[in-house]
Amino acid sequence: MIVDFHYHLMPRMTETSVSMLMPLIARAADIMGRRLDMEALKKKGLATWADPTGERLLETMETAGIDYAVICMVDDASHPGLKAESVQKGNRMVGGVASRYPDRVGGLCGIDPRRPEAPDMLKQSIEEFGVIGMKYHPDYGFDPSGPESYRVLEVLADHGGILLSHTGPLTPPSRARLSDPMRLADLGVDFPEITVIAAHMGAVDWRPWANLAVFQPNFYGDLAMWDTLAFGHYDLFCRELRDIIDLVGPSKVLFGSDGPVYPIAEPAGKWVQLIKDLPDRAPRGIRFTREEVDAILGGNAATILGLG
Ligand SMILES: [Zn+2]
């Protein structure tokens, strides 16, 4: 079973929102040594990334051989144009897509705890819209273990939900100090009911994440954005992933594509295949077992999500 634990469902795309994502893609393409026609890509993004009904998601899953996807919304209270009302519209949409395909899709709402109504937004998203948890982007300017966040996490804990929280640096204005995996350390103590997934495992500096993952039973990480390293510097990716598995065990790592934006230079299906092929293709001196690969690609996620 293949599970993508990190996919963004976009309610709509504008010229500005597409342009804002371009530097991220350009950087990834650079590391991967790919030349991309950025203008053509912008047009493609504008035409195809918005997916309010989830039809494109299902198409992508079909092509990539992904059985189940966890889709998320992102909220940013520091964005003056983004009001709570329209965030809830997006959260309703995510819940709607998940309920339309209950065997294929699970939904995470986007919540920024700086909003005064954040706890109610989460409550409504879980109870009315049917999401199974939420996505945080602390690097937009809040502390995931601060008092504002704790009000929201109490609601999440009451429902035994999942938190997918961005970790690792991104281009400014992203504040990397706030997306340090160690900022999530208190959650495992104060909210043991919550399954916490550190998106990207903290990226290049994954060791603080690993340090926590060893000791906190409900603390995981996903491989979203690691495809850049995997396609750009395969040997290094294999060494890093081997070290991660040796240090924390194979049960803590979850596959993620960060689609539909991120798998541009290489589609999600090739990312799945690269991991599938690790037991046969890993460089000399590095070995992966089929069991490890199966756990990462879906076994671990299936356990978390209670999938058959
Ligand atoms: Zn993401």
Residue 262 confidence (pLDDT): 84
Q: Which amino acid appears at position 223 of this protein?
A: L
Radius of gyration, alpha carbons of the chain: 18
Place of tokens 């993508």: 4
CA of 96 to the centre of ligand 1 (A): 20
pTM: 0.97
| Residue 284 alpha carbon to ligand 1 centre in Å | 32
* Torsion angles phi and psi, residue 106, rounded to 5: -120, 150
User: What are the domain boundaries of the chain?
Assistant: 3-305
CA of 83 to the centre of ligand 1 (A): 21
- C-alpha distances (whole Å) from 55 to each of 2, 73, 87, 98, 217 are 19, 16, 21, 12, 35
Q: How far is the CA of 200 from the centre of ligand 1 (A)?
A: 8
What DSSP character marks residue 145?
A: T
Q: How many A from CA of 236 to the centre of ligand 1?
A: 22
29 CA from centroid of ligand 1 (Å): 17
Distance 262 CA to ligand 1 centre (A): 8
CA distance 97 to 173: 31
Please enumerate in sequence order all residues whose Cβ is within 8 A of that of 172, keeping only pairs 6 or more positions apart, or say none. none
Compute the distance from residue 153 Cα to the ligand 1 centre, in Å: 20
Per-residue pLDDT of the chain (308 residues; tens, 9 = 90+): 999 999 999 999 999 989 988 988 988 999 998 888 999 999 999 999 999 999 999 999 999 999 999 999 999 999 999 999 999 999 999 999 999 999 999 999 999 999 999 999 999 999 999 999 999 999 999 999 999 999 999 999 999 999 999 999 998 899 999 999 999 999 999 999 999 999 999 999 999 999 999 999 999 999 999 999 999 999 999 999 999 999 999 999 999 999 998 887 889 999 999 999 999 999 999 999 999 999 999 999 999 999 97
Structure tokens belonging to residue 205: 């500096």
* Beta strands at 68-72 and 253-254: parallel, antiparallel or unpaired: unpaired
- The full length of the chain comes to 308
Ligand 1 midpoint to CA 285 (Å): 32
Q: What is the DSSP string of 99-112?
A: HHSTTTEEEEEE--
Separation of CA 260 and ligand 1 centre (Å): 10
Q: How far is the CA of 259 from the centre of ligand 1 (A)?
A: 8
Q: Position of tokens 């399954």?
A: 195
When the candidates are 3.40.920.10, 3.40.50.2300, 3.20.20.140, 1.10.10.10, the CATH number that belongs to 3-305 is: 3.20.20.140
Q: How far apart are CA 109 and CA 4, in angstroms?
A: 16
